[in-house]
Amino acid sequence: MPARIHNFSAGPATLPMEVLEQAARDIVNFNDKGIGLIEMSHRSKDFIAVADETESLLREILGVPAHFKVLFLQGGASLQFAMVPMNLLGPGKKGAYLNTGTWSKKAIKEARLFGDVQVAYSSEESNFNHVPSPNEYQVDEDAEYLYYVSNNTIFGTQFHAIPQVAPMLICDMSSDILSRSFDFSPFGLIFAGAQKNMGPAGCTVVFIREDLLDHTPAGVATMLKYKTHADADSMFNTPPCFAIHVIGLVLKWIKKNGGLAALEQKNREKAALLYQTIDNSSFYRGHARSDSRSNMNITFNLPTPELEAQFIKEATALGLDGLKGHRSVGGCRASIYNAFPKEGIVKLIDFMGDFEKKNR
């Protein structure tokens, strides 16, 4: 096996090597049962134990209150953009949204199909380079919820405090769940695609307050009602078994490495190294406003698109992969989720220094 590259991809993203190795063994022969994990009936005792353990680790590590259901769904965050308003809005009901990037914008578009929408704040005019502070917006009193995206993968911004407003919060935590601890009490529903901090693509975890399960209007398809999945412990139909198992392996790795407190500390340190490099240079320019900087996705530009292309090319040759920024921002993006090692960041910083010297 050649040297492992440093994978800065925004998602699917780097996972811990020990998780990959365990998943590989389990695919061929799960727990020495003479059957591969992906061949097992989802209704077998062995697989139900896998799903139960993944759920109980999520509850333990995140501190999920007992009155929240944990669901393992399919369709990605993009399907949640529609399922949230389908289940929680309806004719005459309103959802409030903070528009802080591509994903909130898509969620707003879907919400308009199923109810009224208040866009309480938008940072679109500054190309989503920041998230608002609580005194910068007001949520309509008749809104059912305030929806926001805790971390904006594409623009590299992140909420560092949970909005404090009257209606319940709905949050898309796809790109920073499990990177820090938080209090569930202001939330009604949280969802996150697995493919950044949790595991492989193909599973979306939804945390929903139980009392919301009965809010769904009539006429919603069975598979699109949260209640369907809550009542069947996410086994109304065949769930994404492999992804659920790998999420469980990642959670064990998190627990072994000190849980969210330790990860949060490491994530801050990792990001600070890169932001310092950017701040100490006039060659590299951060996209996100300092107060809104993400600890997961660091977005930056170089003086010209030509230099950016050259930078990415040389970095890739050094095994620093996936640094090309999203077309909405251009430039570069270093995604450094939980499993991304500090050594990779040090290597990137060294390269950034060398590249600046040569090309300044």
| DSSP, res 33 | S
Kindly give the pairing relationship between strand 297-301 and strand 332-335. antiparallel
- State the angle between helix axes of 259-279 and 342-359 in degrees (0 to 180), rounded to the nearest 10: 0
> Taking the complex as a whole, how short is the minimal distance between the CB of residue 344 and its own copies, in angstroms?
12
Q: Is 206 in the site for its own copies (CB under 8 A)?
A: no
Q: Per rule CB under 8 A, is residue 102 in the interface with its own copies? A: no
**Catalytic residue chosen out of the listed positions 26, 94, 116, 172:** 172
Tell me which residues in 283-322 interact with its own copies (CB under 8 A): 319, 321-322
- Using CB under 8 A as the binding rule, whether residue 15 contacts its own copies is answered as yes
Give the shortest CB-99-to-its own copies separation in angstroms: 17
List the interface residues with its own copies, window 231-290 (CB under 8 A): 236-243, 246
Which 26-65 residues touch its own copies, going by CB under 8 A? Answer: 27-29, 32-36, 38-42, 44
How many angstroms from the chain centroid is the CA of residue 67? Answer: 23
For the bound state, the minimum distance from the C-beta of residue 35 to its own copies, rounded and expressed in Å, comes to: 5
Interface residues for its own copies in 140-199 (CB under 8 A)? 193, 195, 199
- Which residue pairs, CB below 8 angstroms and at least 24 apart, start in 342-347? 342/266, 342/269, 342/270, 342/273, 343/6, 344/6, 344/8, 344/320, 345/270, 345/273, 345/274, 346/273, 347/6, 347/318, 347/319, 347/320
d(CA 92, CA 86): 13
Strand order from edge to edge, sheet including 168-172: 68-73, 204-209, 187-193, 168-172, 143-149, 94-99, 116-122
142 is catalytic: no
- Residue among 224, 235, 318, 349 that touches its own copies (CB under 8 A): 224
What minimum distance in Å lies between the beta carbon of 133 and its own copies? 30
196 catalytic residue (yes or no): yes
CB of 43 to its own copies, least distance (A): 9
Nearer of residues 6 and 94 to its own copies, judged by Cβ: 6
Nearer to its own copies, 176 or 356 (CB): 176
Helix (H, G, I), strand (E, B) or coil at 212: helix
Beta carbon of residue 204, minimum distance to its own copies (angstroms, whole number): 9
Q: Which of 162, 223, 307, 318 lies at the binding interface for its own copies (CB under 8 A)?
A: 223
Query: Where are the alpha helices (H) located in the chain, listed in sequence order?
Result: 17-28, 45-62, 76-88, 102-114, 226-231, 241-256, 259-279, 305-317, 342-359
When computed from its CA atoms, the radius of gyration of the chain, rounded to whole angstroms, is 21
Please give the angle made by the CA atoms of 35, 36 and 42, to the nearest 5 degrees: 95
Least distance (Å) between residue 7 CB and its own copies? 5
Q: Which of 9, 133, 281, 316 binds its own copies (CB under 8 A)?
A: 9
Give the binding range for its own copies (CB under 8 A) out of 5-13, 116-124, 288-296, 343-351: 5-13
Residue (165 or 205) nearer to its own copies, CB: 205
Q: For this structure, is 103 an active site residue?
A: yes
Classify residue 223 as left (phi > 0), alpha (psi -120 to 50) or beta.
Answer: alpha
**Tokens read off for 295:** 């600890």
CB 150 within 8 A of CB 176: yes
Q: Judged by CB under 8 A, which stretch of 69-77, 158-166, 255-263, 290-298 contacts its own copies? A: 69-77
Per-residue x/- marks for its own copies, 70-99, CB under 8 A?
----xxxxxx-xx---x-------------
**Which residues are identified as catalytic?**
103, 172, 196
